[in-house]
Amino acid sequence: MFTALRNSFLVLLTSVIFFSCSHHEEQIPSNILPKDKMIAVLVDIHLAEASSDTRNLTLPQINVAMAKRYDELFQKHGITYEQFKTSYDYYLEHADLLSDIYTEVVNELTTRASRFNASGKMKILRDSTNRVDRAVPDSVKARK
């Protein structure tokens, strides 16, 4: 009897240790974009917003131009605005997942900026507080 009780206790203890130590990642619902896809879409969204030339446009014109860019971007990724919005809302409710996603987005944007700057095509000008002022072609910088 003591042996059976001890064996049961060992099985229970082993199970508790196994399940408490195993990393259980929450299963993302099937209607939600996977993290890697969400990262790719967000990278493209941030690049689209950063590259938009909205000077001399009114707010309604900016909204129309950006809506067109977003539609093109969603089409490129094979998703709809509704899928993106549903997924983004889901990740907003799961802050740890959204934080992981944005860490990867920032890493990807930083990597791309570094490669772009290393190519010598464009340099980033910084102001005295080390904030990015604007990006200008090397040829313009050389004339200054």
Tell me the C-alpha distance between 32 and 92, whole Å: 12
Does the pLDDT value for residue 6 go beyond 50? no
Tens digit of pLDDT for each residue in 97-107?
A: 999 999 999 99
Question: What global pTM score does this model have?
Answer: 0.64
Specify the amino acid at residue 43. V
Cβ atoms 52, 114 nearer than 8 A: no
Contacts of 126 (CB under 8 A, 6+ apart): 132, 133
Cβ atoms 67, 99 nearer than 8 A: no
Tens digit of pLDDT for each residue in 22-57?
A: 344 568 999 999 999 999 999 999 999 888 888 888
Tens digit of pLDDT for each residue in 13-27?
A: 344 344 434 344 568
